[in-house]
Structure 1
Amino acid sequence: MNPPEVIRLLLVDDHKILRDGLRSIIEQKTNLHIIGEASDGRAAIEQCNKLLPDVVITDVAMSGLNGVEATKQIHKKHPHIKIIGLSMHANKQFIQGMFKAGAYAYLLKDGDSSELITAINSVHQNKKYLSKKIDQSYLTLLNREEVIVDKELSSREIEVLQLIAEGNSSKEIAELLFLSSKTVDVHKNNTMKKLELYTIPELTKYAIRNGLTSLE
């Protein structure tokens, strides 16, 4: 019998203790090799560009750049990389957002360790997987037209929106995204017009409701 195919993985979570927990589970399988880690969405994109893993396991709600937007950017550039979303949340906004962004699986953080291994093997075989603790009918959302964020918002506007919701000023956002404060304000104003939301509290509620951030 031939040995199982080696699967190369990247772990993404802004809590090291959770990454360590995932590592301890995964390293029990000889065919699963962890080739890198990242603590936020932007680092995950950089690691994917550099390491080209087979599978990425990423937290969904991370500060700076959330897992949905990171997944979207990774999937666009590297469609062969299979992405597994990992979250505390079972609501449809997070689930649909990850699948629409290009993820192949969605797991809950309180799930069984065996389910993580099952999900890794499933996505590596081009099969989608949804946590057993979640209503399986949610998979029908994949065939619907509704999306987690208004289609007119650009990736940059989504980044700015998340950072606004997380309490950052225009100056702070400019430093994080290597933009001018004026450019950030342009993105903010465009986002407000598109969403017809004109206050920071309204934008924050929208970002939370649509899974851009959970403010964990």
Structure 2
Amino acid sequence: MKVNVLIVDDEALLREGLRAMLQHESVVKNVYEAHDEKTFQEALIKNTVDLILLDVRLRSVTGFDLLARLKAIDQHPKVIAVTGLDGTEMIINLLKSGVHGIVYKLDGYSEISKAIKNVLQSGTYFPESVLKIIQTNAQRWQEIPSVTLTFQEKEMLKAIATGITTKEIAVHLKMSPSTAETYRIRLMKKVNVPNTAALLAYAFRNGIL
């Protein structure tokens, strides 16, 4: 059985290279491409898609947003998340969202090919590093915070990342300094980190910034 594959990535060079290699796979029938939410939805409307290779970090939309969109359509393709990030929170939230496989970009195309074949044959594929994350965090699975933030929370993180003061953040976000400080504290509690430095580390590790 041959399958139709949709590549979702905002880097044209990566999509083109991946397409070229996928076309040599015996299990692949057609290869489609998308680089944002609009082209993602168009590809699913125009074509029957059996498997999606989904980059988690896109410029205009997150992979988590697109995974949520999948729940609202009739098609139910298998999804392999392709990422250059290794945040524990991100990996666990990908698993919670129902992806069928996870591949790290640094592992190269051979790992993607292996993941595709395993997902088609057995339903899932997770490398040893991901299985280790699952085992290590099994007891705190439900405590892992979501990496999905509101627009206001993302704007707060971007402002903090520039190194400006709370007063300057308040001006930038058009709120009082006390409100800005409250937002910062709530955000730290939401992602379960002790300070601003850890908050920024969390954001970069999970592809939020």
Task: Compute the TM-score of the two structures, normalised by the length of structure 1.
Answer: 0.66
User: Alignment partner of 1:196: what SS?
Assistant: helix
Cα distance in 1, alignment partners of residues 6 and 103 from structure 2 = 16
Q: How many residues align?
A: 178
* Structure with greater proportional helix content: 2
Determine the structure 1 residue equivalent to 2:96: 100
What is the 5 A alignment of 1:120-159? 120-132=116-128, 134-140=129-135, 141=137, 144-149=141-146, 158=150
Cα distance in 2, alignment partners of residues 137 and 148 from structure 1 = 19
Select 1:84's aligned residue among 80, 86, 90.
Answer: 80
Which ranges in structure 2 are unaligned for 5 or more consecutive residues?
Answer: 160-174, 189-195
User: Alignment partner of 1:114: what SS?
Assistant: helix
Cα distance in 2, alignment partners of residues 81 and 99 from structure 1 = 16
Select 1:33's aligned residue among 21, 29, 35.
Answer: 29
What is the 5 A alignment of 1:1-216? 5-75=1-71, 77-78=73-74, 80-132=76-128, 134-140=129-135, 141=137, 144-149=141-146, 158=150, 161-162=153-154, 196-197=186-187, 205=200, 208=203, 211=206, 213=208, 215=209
1:196 maps to a residue whose letter is: R
1:55 maps to a residue whose letter is: L
Check the 8 A contact 1:60/1:67 in 2, yes or no: yes
* Cα-Cα RMSD: 3.4
Cα distance in 1, alignment partners of residues 69 and 82 from structure 2 = 17
Cα distance in 2, alignment partners of residues 206 and 52 from structure 1 = 39
Alpha carbons of structure 1 residues 59 and 90: separation in structure 2 relative to 1, 3 Å: same
Alpha carbons of structure 1 residues 83 and 145: separation in structure 2 relative to 1, 3 Å: same
Identity %: 20
Task: Compute the TM-score of the two structures, normalised by the length of structure 2.
Answer: 0.68
Which ranges in structure 1 are unaligned for 5 or more consecutive residues?
Answer: 168-184
2:66 maps to a residue whose letter is: A
- Post-superposition CA distance 1:107-148 (Å, at most 9, x none): 11111322211211222235221235x252223457822344
